[in-house]
A and B are shown apart, each in its own frame.
Chain A
Amino acid sequence: MNNNQTIHAYILAGGKSSRMGSDKGLLLLGDKKIVELVIEQVKPLVQKLVIVSNNPEYQQFGLEVIPDVIKDAGPAGGIHAALAHSKADKLVILSCDMPFVSTAAIASLLENTIDKDIVVPVFKKKLEPMLSVYSTNCRAKWEELLTNNTFKLQTLFSHFNTLELNVDGHPAFSDRLFSNINTVEDLQKALGNRNPEIKILVFGQLSELVNATELSWHSAQNTNELINQLQQRFPLLAVINYRVAVNKKINQNSVQISDGDTVALLPPFSGG
C-alpha cells in the first residue's frame, strides 16, 4: 500500500428524520450535538472532513457541506456524492448519528484497506455500512450502478472487491458503537449510557489548551486511563505537567474514578 495516500471523511447527515421530527445529527447529547461527537473522533485521522446533507443547518460546524447529486437514493446516494466530490485516495464514510464512534475503530478499518475497494465492518453478524471505507477507484462503477437503480448497499458491495471485516471482540468496537439513534427513546437510552459522567474542572492555562473550564467525560476507570484519554483528545496535555485531583484529593498513584466523581486538573502557576 502507498502510505502516502490521502484520506478524507464524509459524514452522511441525510435529510429530515421523520421519526424524530428533527435532524438526528443535530440533537444534543450531553453538552454536544451528536454530529460534533462524530467529527471529534474522525478528525485526527483525515486531511479533510465534509458533511453530505441537504440541510443548511450543518454549515454551523465550519465544514464544507455538499448535497446529494442523485436524489432520494438513501445512503448509496450519499456515498455517491462523496465519491464524486473527493480527490482523496480513500474515503471514510460515517453516519452523523453514531455518537459512540471512536478514532480507534475508524483507524482499525483504515488499516485493512490494502488492495480492497471497500471495507465494511461486520458486528454480531450484521453488516454495518454506516461506518465504512472506500477507495475512490469505486467512483465510476458506483455511479453506473446507481444510474441503473441499484440502491441496496449489500448488492452494491457485491460488485466490488469488498472486505467484510468481522470486528466482534475487537477492543475498538464497543457494543454501543453501532447503536444508531433512531428514536427519542434510543436517545434517552444513549444518554443513560453516557451519564452520569465524570465532571472535569480545568484550571489555569490548561483551560486554554482544552478550550473549556469544565468538561464532561465518558467514564474512565482510573486516573491513568483518564490522563491517557485526555492526552489523545488534547495531545499537548502530554507535555504539560499538571496534577489530577479526584474529589478534591491529589493522590500520588493512579486511583479509581467512578461515575459522578469530580476531577480537577491543576497546572502549576508561577506568577507573583
Chain B
Amino acid sequence: MDSKPKYQRYLRQLLLNEFGPAAQEKLLKSSVLVIGAGGLGCPALQYLAAAGVGRIGIADGDVVELSNLQRQILYNESDIGKNKATCAAEKITALNSSIEVEVFAFHLTNQNITKVMIDFDLVIDGSDNFATRYLVNDCCVVHGLPLVYGAVLRFEGQVGVFNVPDKKTKTVTDYRDLFPEPPQPNALASCNEVGVLGVIPGIIGVMQATEAIKIITGIGQPLTNKIITYNALHNSFYDTEITPSLKKLTFLSSDEIESFDYAFFCSAHYKVSELSPEEFETLRTKENVVVIDIREKHELPKVNQFQHLNITIAELYNAFPKEILQKEIVLFCNTGARSTAMARNLKQRHPELNLHSLAGGIWAWKKQFKLFDE
C-alpha cells in the first residue's frame, strides 16, 4: 500500500497532536496477540485492526455458536460452526487488508503457549477461564511481555495492565499479585452459568484495545498496577491500586510453566465427595475415620452424639494437623455449604487427602435421625 491511502485510512488519529505519524508508525510495526476471540477478543480485534496494528495473532480453539452472537460481534449467523480464530481473521482482514493476521486455531496449553506467544510484542487476555488466565499471565511474566487483562461477568467487567513497569515508581505487578490463588472451583460461577450483558465485554474489550494502543505508542498513562472495575448498573468505574505480593508463585522459565498443572491448580476437574446423612452414619463409626466440626466455637447446635474434633475454618487454613493426614476425613458445618467449599480448598492443597463433606450439614443429619423435638 502506498502512503496516500495509509494517510487517508488513519487520518483521524494522525490529526491528534499526542498521536501523530510517529505513534502510527509504532502501531504499524507492532504485533499483538489476542487470546480468545470471544466477547472481549472480538471488539479488541476490530479496533486493533482498524487502528493499524501491523501484525495481529488470534488464538482460539472454539467454534462459533448461536449463543455467542449476543456479544461476539465479529460473527454472523452463517459463521456458526466455524473456528473462531479463523473466522475472526477473515473479518479483520476484510476490515484492513494492509495488516498481517496470524491464526492459532487451537486451545493454548502450557505445552504450546510459549511458541505462540514468543514473537509478539504485547498480549491481550480475552480468555474465559481461570486456568488459561494464570497460564497466559505466567508466560507473559517469563518472557517480559506486557499483558492487558480483561474479564467480565453479569453487569461488571475488569480491565488492567500487567507486567509493565509504572512510569514513575518502576513497580511491576501481574495477575498473581491481584489474585495469588484461583477461586475454589464452583465457588464462583462463569458467564456460561450466570450470564453477561452483551455490551459489557464490548466495553471492556475496547478498553483493552485502548490500553494496548497506549502501551505500544507510549501515549498517556497506561493502566499499570491498577485495575478498573466497571459496573453498568451503577454507572461506576472503580479503580484499585495493586501492590506486589511477596507470597505469589513466580515462574522463571518456560520449562517451569510446562511442568505446572494449571488444570489442577484451578481444580477444573475436581469434585468433592458429599455424604448423605445415612452414608455419614455408616462411615463415621469405621476405624481410621476422623470427623471434624469446622464451625466456629459458639455455633449451635452442639454435637455430642458422636466423637469429633473441633477445628475451625481459620485453623484448617492456617495449620492443617499433620496427624490426621493418613485418615479418612469428614468435615461438617450447619448446612454443608462451608464444609464442601472447605473440602475443595483442602483437596487443592493436599491432593492426597481422603476427604468428604456431610451434605446438608449437621442440621440434615439431626433431622434425618429425628434428634430435634420439633
Contacts and interface: CB of A to CB of B under 8 A. Distances in A.
Contacts, number: 163
Interface in B215-262: 227, 229, 231, 234, 238-247
Contacts of B130: 268, 270
A252 B229 contact: no
B372 A271 contact: no
Contacts of A4: 301-302, 304-305, 366, 371
A22 interface: no
Contacts of A231: 313
A15 interface: no
Given A3-B304, A239-B341, A245 B183 contact: no
Contact of A235 (B129, B298, B300, B337): B337
A105 B267 CA distance: 40
B99 to A, nearest CB: 23
Given A203-B156, A243-B178, A252 B245 contact: yes
Contact of B152 (A238, A243, A251, A271): A271
A120 interface: no
Contact of B313 (A238, A251, A252, A271): A238
A192 to B, nearest CB: 29
A266 interface: yes
Interface stretch (B4-12, B23-31, B36-44): B36-44
A268 B183 contact: yes
Contacts of A79: none
Interface string A31-65: 00000000000001111100000000000000000
Contact of A241 (B183, B189, B191): B183
B345 interface: yes
B303 interface: yes
B299 interface: yes
Given A47-B372, A213-B234, A270-B130, A205 B153 contact: yes
Interface of A: 3-4, 6-7, 44-48, 87-89, 103-104, 107-108, 110-111, 201, 203-205, 213, 228, 231-232, 235-236, 238-241, 243, 245, 248-252, 264, 266-272
Counting from the closest, the 4 A-B pairs by CB-CB distance are A239-B341, A271-B191, A107-B298, A272-B128
14 contacts: A4-B304, A108-B298, A204-B188, A238-B338, A239-B341, A241-B182, A248-B238, A264-B238, A267-B188, A270-B127, A270-B133, A270-B190, A272-B126, A272-B151
